[in-house]
Chains A and B, each alone.
Chain A
Amino acid sequence: MRKNASGINNSKQRIENKNNDLDLYLKALNSAYSGIIITDNLQYDNPIIYCNKAFETISGYAHDEIIGHNCRFLQAQDRSQAERKIIKESIARGEECKIEIRNYRKDGTLFWNELFISPVKNDDGQVTHFIGVQNDISDRKKAEYDLREEKSHVELKIQQRTKELQDKESFLSSIIETVRESLLVLDANYIVLSANRHFLNSFKVTTEETVGNLLFDLGNQQWDISSLKEMLTRILPTNNPVIDYEVDHIFPHIGRKVMLLNAYRIEFEGQYKDRILIAIEDITEKKEQNRRKDDFLSIASHELKTPLTTIKGLFQILQRLSAENTDPKYVSTLDKITAYIDRLNLLIAKLLDTSKIQSGNLELHMDPFEIDKTVQDAVESMRLAAPDSDIQLTGNTGSIVAGDELQIIQVLNNLLSNAIKYSPESKKVEVSIHKVANFIKISVRDYGMGISYQDRLKIFERFFRVSHIQKKFPGLGIGLYVSHEIILHHKGTLWVESEPGEGSTFNFTLPIVTNK
């Protein structure tokens, strides 16, 4: 009895113990971080018969919504994943499997489920249950995904960049091939890396004769010039380009030519640096044209002066012969002719001046002179020549400048006569002379029509004349050009400040030699 009682007690105890153990296990399962489920493989469609708390948390479903279902409900509409088939086959074979699969919480949000399924077999080897362990690996997946994304993004970028560079390069090379200038690219050792078509055509050479060779060995060593070499060696370390270096040489195939050479350091981002680009322009024709033009001008002015000499002489004879005839109309007519002969002579002289300047022949007689006196004289003679005008002179510097006084007078006359000519409405012209640092500055201000910005840019060019006044005041329009050149030769500057309608101020400076 006791035994029985104790037997009952024992079995009761055992059951109690068992219950306690189970309780413990359940507690353990519920405190696990991973989702854990058990399915009954002997029932239809493998229903879930147990799930722990973590599974509820991971899936967002409540216990009651889970039990009895096949676990595929976590896949929602996302049913075409390859993983599903793998699970199905493993289950059918009663094997374990480990898989990562996209699942959806109750609220529809995606999570990545790392799923581990393993079979539970009875003594007969029959699979009675499956145990599933789920881990939400969304964070890891996202990190992986981001990494992959980043990687493919970077790859894409590299692809794009490469393409861009290729595009840029082909863009560059198409420019290089198109320009009508000879171009060479050298490496840091002056070996020719490439030569454009224009180079090959103009020097009548082949790529083989050019590319891969030392620049100084090309042709008949036409570029082997020590001063050029020296400049080229300075390009890379100092980044100082070679600008407008003239090479006058008898080239093989093409004969004597004057070439203008420019060289720069070039860098092509990511591809290379320390290359030298050499641009070569054939200026033979240009130089020849300039020379011909200068010759023409100087011959033309000489030829024009010859008949003018005759006219002038004959006219003076006529004046003398008719000295007795005092009819005022007759006398004034003769005077007019004199004025026009002188004007024609002046125009011819200007033409010659221009051609002299252009060919660099302008002769300067650099003597010291008192600039104040020069300006006073110029103003005085202009007052006599244009008695209608009102020329006012201010300032006195007491300075000596060095230069060709006659040419400075020419500049002053030019500025003064322009001031008078281009301001027919207002007769006032203000001339001032001042000291500015080591220079004297002379300004000629008129209150005439003024000069627009566009015109101001070009006014000192050869043969330029402000278009709209062209008809009103004809002339050769080389006076300002000549004046500008003269002042430049004296190491000063000549410039204009003006607004249309408000008159103009022409200024020039000359370096002071000594103060009195």
Chain B
Amino acid sequence: MQPKKIMICDDDRGILEMLELFLELEGYNVICEINSTHLTKQLISHKPDLLLLDLWMPILSGDQLIKIIRSTPEIKETPIIVLSASVDGPEIAGNLGANGFVAKPFDLTDITDKINSILKN
């Protein structure tokens, strides 16, 4: 079976590297994007099975990105899990139609649980 492709978009390099390391250990194919303005293009070219998305990012923030993704035909179905340390994170994620939310800082098992439950469907 082909490994599932997961894209991560976060402006913090530490989090990107940590998640990449972990998810690769978990057997996923991981693509990282630190620059939120490149995300749409990346999504279109890589067509990942799932997107882990940060909210507070410079230039294009996570909530803006969700709107763009949801209205871009090629990628509008991409499952999105929002990762955020922001208090209003769950609300934003819910309102914009993200598929899940995990609060920072998280337990890695929370991440795998969320990913598994979404990819199962």
Residues of A whose CB lies within 8 Å of any CB of B are 298, 301-302, 305-314, 316-317, 320, 341, 345, 352, 356
Instruction: Give 15 pairs: A residue, B residue, CB < 8 Å, sorted on A.
Output: A302-B85, A302-B86, A305-B104, A305-B105, A306-B12, A308-B104, A308-B105, A309-B14, A309-B85, A309-B105, A310-B12, A313-B22, A314-B21, A316-B108, A317-B25
Out of B21, B56, B87, B106, which one reaches A309, CB within 8 Å?
B106
A309 touches B25 (CB 8 A): no
The 3 closest A-B pairs by CB, nearest first: A310-B14, A305-B85, A309-B105
CB-contacts of B1-46 with A (<8 A): 12, 14-15, 17-19, 21-22, 25
Q: Give the interface centre of B15, B17, B25, B104 by most chain A CB atoms within 10 Å.
A: B104
CB-contacts of B32-86 with A (<8 A): 56, 85-86
Residues of A within 8 A of B22 (CB): 313, 316-317
Q: Looking across the interface, which residue of chain B has its beta carbon closest to that of A305? A: B85
Least CB distance, A272 to chain B, in whole angstroms: 55
**Total contacting residues, chain B, CB less than 8 A:** 18
B15 touches A309 (CB 8 A): yes
Residues of A within 8 A of B18 (CB): 309-310, 313-314, 317
Question: How many contacting A-B pairs (Cβ < 8 A)?
Answer: 55
Q: Looking across the interface, which residue of chain A has its beta carbon closest to that of B14? A: A310
Apart from the given pairs A312-B106, A313-B108, 18 other A-B contacts in the complex at a CB distance below 8 Å? A301-B85, A302-B56, A302-B85, A305-B85, A305-B104, A306-B14, A306-B15, A307-B14, A309-B14, A309-B15, A309-B18, A309-B106, A312-B105, A313-B106, A316-B107, A316-B108, A317-B21, A320-B25
Residues of A within 8 A of B56 (CB): 302
Out of A306, A311, A317, A320, which one reaches B85, CB within 8 Å?
A306
Least CB distance, B43 to chain A, in whole angstroms: 23
In Å, the complex CA distance between A352 and B56 comes to 16
Residues of B whose CB lies within 8 Å of any CB of A are 12, 14-15, 17-19, 21-22, 25, 56, 85-87, 104-108
In Å, the complex CA distance between A301 and B84 comes to 12
B87 touches A310 (CB 8 A): no
Least CB distance, A231 to chain B, in whole angstroms: 36
In Å, the complex CA distance between A310 and B105 comes to 8
Residues of B within 8 A of A352 (CB): 87
Residues of B within 8 A of A310 (CB): 12, 14-15, 17-18
Residues of A within 8 A of B17 (CB): 310
In Å, the complex CA distance between A298 and B19 comes to 25
Q: Looking across the interface, which residue of chain A has its beta carbon closest to that of B12? A: A306
Contact A313-B87, Cβ < 8 Å, known A302-B56, A345-B105:
no
Residues of B within 8 A of A306 (CB): 12, 14-15, 85, 104
Residues of B within 8 A of A307 (CB): 12, 14
Least CB distance, A323 to chain B, in whole angstroms: 12
Residues of B within 8 A of A308 (CB): 104-105
Q: Looking across the interface, which residue of chain A has its beta carbon closest to that of B19? A: A313
Q: Give the interface centre of A301, A310, A314, A345 by most chain B CB atoms within 10 Å.
A: A310
Residues of B within 8 A of A305 (CB): 85, 104-105
